[in-house]
Amino acid sequence: MPAPRVSAAFGVLAAALALGGAELAAALVGRPEAGPLLAVGSVFIDLSPAWLKDFAIRTFGAADKLVLLLTLAGVIAVAAGVIGTAALRRPRLAITALAGLAALAGAAALSRPGARPADVLPASVGAVGGTLALLYTRRGLRPRPAGQVTPAALARPGQPVPSTAQPARMAGAERRVLLTRGSAILGLAVLSGGAGRAITSARRSSADGRALVLPRPADPAGALPASVSLNVPGLSPFTTPNDAFYRVDTALIVPRVPHQEWTLRVHGLVDRPVELSFADLLARPLSERDITLTCVSNEVGGPYAGHARWLGVDLAALLREAGIRPGADQILSCSADGWTASTALESVLDGRDALLAIAMNGAALPPAHGFPARMIVPGLYGYVSATKWVIDLKLTRFADERAYWTRRGWAERAPIKTASRIEVPKPFAEVPAGPVTVAGTAWAQHRGIAAVEVRVDDGAWRQADLAASAGPDTWRQWQTTWQAAPGQHRLEVRATDATGHTQPAERLPPIPDGATGWHSVLVTVT
């Protein structure tokens, strides 16, 4: 293998050691989010335009963060290969470039909300490790000086190479040295990265609520009637299991906040600022409510909606205890990772079941869904109502402060739009001729679903049968029977909410306040 290629490969190994060492350092200081990949990735997310974020969510779904990290790793590998090649003849330039990348990673870590001076340490440790790896491997890759004549070149035509040259043995020895050094670097990279992951995993496992004993609700929701579910094969369950509930957020790493250390601050335009511990929350009367959540990034017919039974503190009562001052019209909530959301104050105080939730479906909130506490405000898209890992509630004015997504062009107030989707049959399914069950779900939180209609091939709309309603803040299942004739057909659905509003036909993207349009599927009848 030519020396430049070997040098490039060692550059990649040096980068692996740099990242592994940085991850170990980040774990040791208890700041995994300060690792170069996570810090740079988080900055990239913040600087990305809204259309790019929407594209990533639409294209990759829950894997969008993994795709971003893999892309960053690929970019680093290419840059490391270039640096490794440069180290062969221009080591100072290579080390300078490595230091520059480390400086960028350190700056990214220090730019994050809640950053500490120690957050620059992982990038620094990575830079030192990468530099030492480059220097170590370069010793085995020293290029032959220009004009140097090998013993083979001194041999006359037809004469054997002098035995002192032994080029084959030297090449074999060099390969063994390079292989040994490369294996050593790779081993250190794996060990340091693995140790960092293990330390972080051990700490994170102690920051969830699996061992938490939940108090009984003072205001229980009661049993759901069996008729809320139609029990159609292939139809989403009425209550979404916790491990299947959608997750859309900007966190590359799920924040882990031990509930023993968690506090919530209520301040701003209030008469009596409040600070609550998790124990304070558990001591308050808890309410249990069935509420369906929807993400504003949900395309027509998309998967980013889910239903759960939530347990939490009455949010409106908590705010009123703090004493709301005249002029306040916004709740600016902040999560443990610095993300912010702006919620219209009137939407929390108008009597709806807004909660500061600590549990879903009978268990403490999973870390990915906001443990120790999150906001739940029915009727609003999640980006203005459902802050996870919430630690701060500031009463303020829309005219004075803007939140994460509103600064990026999304609407300040975002009530959930009436929507419906076909789940059975699936798109491009083949079904036999004759009676075919068509079923799905519809939602219009805080208004409720009054009717669902289905049509085939632009024909007449016909009413579907609705399951029982569990309340205006929940979605509703529906079904109808279609007498299917052979051929290819297009099925469409639309819903009407309890105010009489029927979802519009015009297809609009999620930006800036939620998608609209009728969901349709193509099926083939055989």
Q: What is the pLDDT of residue 55?
A: 86
Q: Mean pLDDT over residues 385-398, rounded?
A: 98
pLDDT score of 174 more than 90: no
In what helix (H) or strand (E) does residue 319 lie, and over which residues does it extend? Answer: helix 315-322
Judged by DSSP in three states, 345 sits in helix
- Residues 442-447, mean pLDDT to the nearest whole number: 98
3-class SS string, 240-276: CCHHHCCCCCCCCCCCCCCCCCCEEEEEECECCCEEE
Is the bond into 372 cis (omega within 30 degrees of 0)? yes
Among 94, 99, 112, CA closest to 31: 112
User: What pLDDT score was predicted for residue 149?
Assistant: 45
CA distances from 377 to 251, 338, 368 (A): 21, 20, 18
User: Of 7-21, 43-57, 156-170, 378-392, which one has max mean pLDDT?
Assistant: 378-392
Please give the average per-residue pLDDT across 405-423, as a whole number: 96
Rounded to an integer, what is the distance from CA 462 to the centroid of its chain? 39
- Rounded to an integer, the average pLDDT of 406-428 is 96
The 8-class DSSP code of residue 368 comes to: G
User: 304 near 355, Cβ under 8 Å?
Assistant: no
pLDDT of residue 60: 87
Res 394 pLDDT > 60: yes
- Model confidence pLDDT, tens digit, residues 137-161: 777 565 545 444 444 444 454 455 4
Higher pLDDT, 485 or 137: 485
pLDDT score of 336 more than 60: yes
Average pLDDT of the chain, as a whole number: 90
pLDDT the model gives residue 173: 63
| Model pLDDT for residues 241-269, shown as the tens digit of each residue | 999 999 999 998 899 889 999 999 999 99
Closest-CA residue to 504 (of 381, 418, 416): 418
Query: Hey, what amino acid is at 379?
Result: G
Share of the chain above pLDDT 70, in %: 92
Taking the C-alpha atoms of residue 327 and residue 324, their distance in angstroms, rounded to an integer, is: 9
Checking if the pLDDT of 14 tops 60, the result is yes
Q: What are the tens digits of pLDDT across the range 317-329?
A: 999 999 999 999 9
Tokens, residue 140: 């085995």
Beta strands in 152-299 (DSSP E): 263-268, 274-277, 287-294
Check residue 204 and give its pLDDT: 73
The pLDDT of residue 164 is above 90: no
Judge residue 193's burial from the number of C-beta atoms within 10 Å of its C-beta, 0-12 exposed, 13-18 middle, 19 or more buried: buried
Number of Cβ within 10 Å of residue 253's Cβ equals 17
Poorest-pLDDT segment among 90-94, 128-132, 144-148: 144-148
Longest CA span, the chain? 101
Q: Is 389 left (phi over 0), alpha (psi -120 to 50) or beta?
A: left
Using a CB cutoff of 8 Å and minimum separation of 24, what contacts does 325-330 make? 325/269, 325/270, 325/271, 325/395, 327/269, 327/397, 328/268, 328/269, 328/270, 328/395, 328/396, 328/397, 329/397, 329/398, 330/395, 330/396, 330/397, 330/398, 330/401
Q: Is 345 exposed, middle or buried (0-12, 13-18, 19+ CB in 10 A)?
A: buried
Phi–psi pair at 71, nearest 5 degrees: -65, -45
**329 SS3 class:** coil
Cβ 338 vs Cβ 324: under 8 Å: no
